[in-house]
Amino acid sequence: MFIGNNLKIINMKKSLILTLIAMATLACTNQNPLLTDENTPYGVPAFDKYKLEHYMPAFKEAISQQKAEVDAIVNNPEAPTFENTIVALDRTGSLLDKVSSAFFNVLEADGNSEMDKIANEVSPMLSELSDGIILNEALFSRVKTVYEQKDALGLTPEQMRLLTETYKQFVQNGANLPADKKERLMQINQELSVLSLQFGQNVVAETNDYQLFITDEVRLEGLPESAKTAAKEEAVAAGREDAWLFTPKRTSFTPVLQYARDRELRRELLMAYITRCNHDNDHDNKAIINRTMHLRVEKARLFGYENPADYILADCMAHDAKTVDAFLQSVWQPSLAAAKREAAALQQLLDKDLPGEKLQPWDWWYYAEQLRRERYALDEEEIKQYFVLDNVRNGAFLLAHNLYGLNFEKLEGMPVYNKEVEVFKVTDADGSLIGILYTDYFPRAGKRPGAWMNDICHQYVDADGIDHRPVIINVGNFNKPAGDMPSLLSMDDVETLFHEFGHALHGLLSKAHYKSLAGTATPRDFVELPSQFMENYCYEPQILRTYAFHYQTGEVMPDELIEKINAASKFNQGFVQTELLCASLLDMDYHEMTTTDDFDVNAFEAASIEKMQMIPEIIVRYRSTYFNHIFTTGYAAGYYSYTWSAVLDADAFAAFKETGDILNPEVARRFRHLLEQGGTRDAQELYNEFRGKPADPQHHLRRKGFID
């Protein structure tokens, strides 16, 4: 009896402890906005309530929930079906989607060292979860059972696509590997996830660390007043009222390259930009590149591929490295020939200023600007006065209205992670909700370089038939307003804004039933089509007149200036295309590696550039040590996709031009249908359906001026 009473007391204590733990957990959950129904407008994240201490508990709970959801599928006593296995799997992880999208969007756009620490801790956890799902033998058995019955299930085309893509994802990510290889694959994936984060963090840190203070205003001769004002404001913010501050951020150093007469200043800033993370310091990325490529080669071998490129490209439109290599060479030679002609013309200008000197990479932008003025009487500083950021964005919105009937309404008082972020409600012609668009356009210390689009909330149709509309963000690094001057964009900036807005439309217009097929969930060499397609409209006269208003007078850009812009549209395209293709070829050289031996990154890069016979006056757009695209953001063996998609987008725009109406409603209807499909259809079939035939590369080469 004593023992029995003792056990009873112990059990009562256990019960009390468990109750207290449950109550504490519930209280913690209720206090964590990431783990509650936030009741925000349109279901957007409650960014204004999220704090650093919320993220890790939310990740742990979300990971636990998805594991439980997957276990429920695996342990379902019923026979595997499309609904209880394939669809059920697609619907898992809703909480993790919410937590991950909120955290990683803020990390990229407004991060800090504390968020970096969380990312470093959570990334291996997410990799382990992903591998645990994809390498779950019981789960794969259910998926495989359904897949083997696919022809007898009477599935719709989208359902068949979901089934085949799900099965393919399991196979391509190791489901058929033997146990020892599965274990090694998990180790590789976890390490790669950490290396990717470290690479990107180093680029941000190195970019932020470099500061060039100029105290002699004579050295700024030639710089526009807007650039000098911005540099002065940066210096004052850094505590130096006696100087002008320049950094390796593009908004800072590009005006110097383009306008500064001081050749040494141009050289110093360009070298600071292209040598980032290549200094044998704490931010050096060369060892990370070595380890990353070793692991990618090893991973490809686990699946029986000779190199990482063939493994990665198996699910793309190009399918293999041989096809990509042949494609790149087909556009490389005419691009390089054009670049050589351009270099010769710039050398002649340099000879007048500095007889006997050889044209260098830090001279190209400066003399290209001089030549543009000489040939076309075109001054980009004059053009920028008509490209006010808000007006350009409104022009992109109006274009989407004219093409697809969309309307944009700015929303006030929405939860945002930074006061510079703006939010817009997007509706269809009939007033129905299309989605929510966030824009975040200005550089800050915690923002990674470049411009991008992300899903904050995916579009999908739930089990009750409710269509959950997407929340999308466009992020950039454009010039901030300076003094009494608004944010004025360069022509490159305008193209970037339209480009990322094209990605946003791809996500916003999605009409998929399943999350994994929605929006931009397409092959990498297809996903740039919607974005690059929008660039075609930037400088069309009838489009320019809708957004190009002088920042002081409000007058529309005069026809004479519009004509100059279009007359110069093929100017310097050898340079533009060659630096892009050089990066693509470097990417492919990395991912066609077959060795896991250590290598010298700088020597490898130099050999790659020598092999392609790149002229020394042009530097590859992304040097290895800051090539975020291929080492952090998912474009490994995929940077070629910008040019591959350029062939598609030039051909797609030709479909409009051939009708004599660049806003042709019937062609626009067909292109909107393409955008709505997301990844629910085979990309090549989808494009052929829109165009009636495969894309003709002649349109791209003609647009660049490489052929008549």
Terminal Cα distance for the chain, rounded? 101
3-state secondary structure 375-425: HHCCCHHHHHCCCEHHHHHHHHHHHHHHHHCCEEEEECCCCCCCCCCEEEE
Distance CA(362)–CA(375), nearest Å, equals: 21
Q: Are 442 and 421 in contact (CB under 8 A)?
A: no
By C-alpha distance, which of 62, 59, 187 is closest to 121?
59
483, 491, 579 from 339: Cα distances, Å: 38, 20, 10
**Residue linked to tokens 């009487």:** 377
HEC string for 587-647: HHHHHCCCCCCCCCHHHHHHHHHHHCCCCCCCCCCCCHHHCHHHHCCCCCCCCCHHHHHHH
Report the 10 Å Cβ neighbour count for 113: 9
User: Strand pairing of 460-461 and 467-468?
Assistant: antiparallel
> What distance in Å separates the CA atoms of residue 296 and residue 591, rounded to the nearest whole number?
8
Q: Classify each residue of 4-13 as buried b or exposed e, where b means 16 or more C-beta atoms within 10 Å of its C-beta.
A: eeeeeeeeee
DSSP string, 14-41: HHHHHHHHHHHHHHHHHH-GGGS----G
* CB 703 within 8 Å of CB 538: no
**Would you tell me how many other CB atoms lie within 10 Å of the CB of residue 391?**
19
3-state secondary structure of 553: coil
- Residue 48 to residues 45, 413, 533, Cα–Cα distance (Å): 9, 11, 35
CA distance 417 to 609: 41
3-state secondary structure of 165: helix
Which residues participate in catalysis according to the annotation? 500
Vertex 521 angle, CA 130 and 124, to 5°:
25
Instruction: Find how far residue 554's CA is from the centre of its chain.
Output: 33
* Cross-strand partners of 214: 244
As a whole number of angstroms, the distance between CA 466 and CA 455 comes to: 19
Phi-psi region of 177 (alpha: psi -120 to 50; beta: other; left: phi over 0): beta
3-state SS, residue 437 = strand
285 three-state secondary structure = coil
Ramachandran class of 411: left when φ > 0, alpha when ψ lies in -120 to 50, beta otherwise: beta
- All residues at 6 or more sequence positions from 6 whose CB lies less than 8 Å from its CB, including other chains: none
Is residue 221 a contact partner of residue 260, using CB atoms and an 8 Å limit? yes
> How many other CB atoms sit within 10 Å of the CB of residue 554?
9
**What is the C-alpha to C-alpha distance for residues 301 and 595, in angstroms, rounded to an integer?**
10
Helix (H) or strand (E) holding 43: none
Beta strands 471-475 and 452-457, pairing class: antiparallel
Q: What tokens were used for 9?
A: 């007391």
Distances (CA, A) of 638 to 71, 586, 644: 35, 11, 10
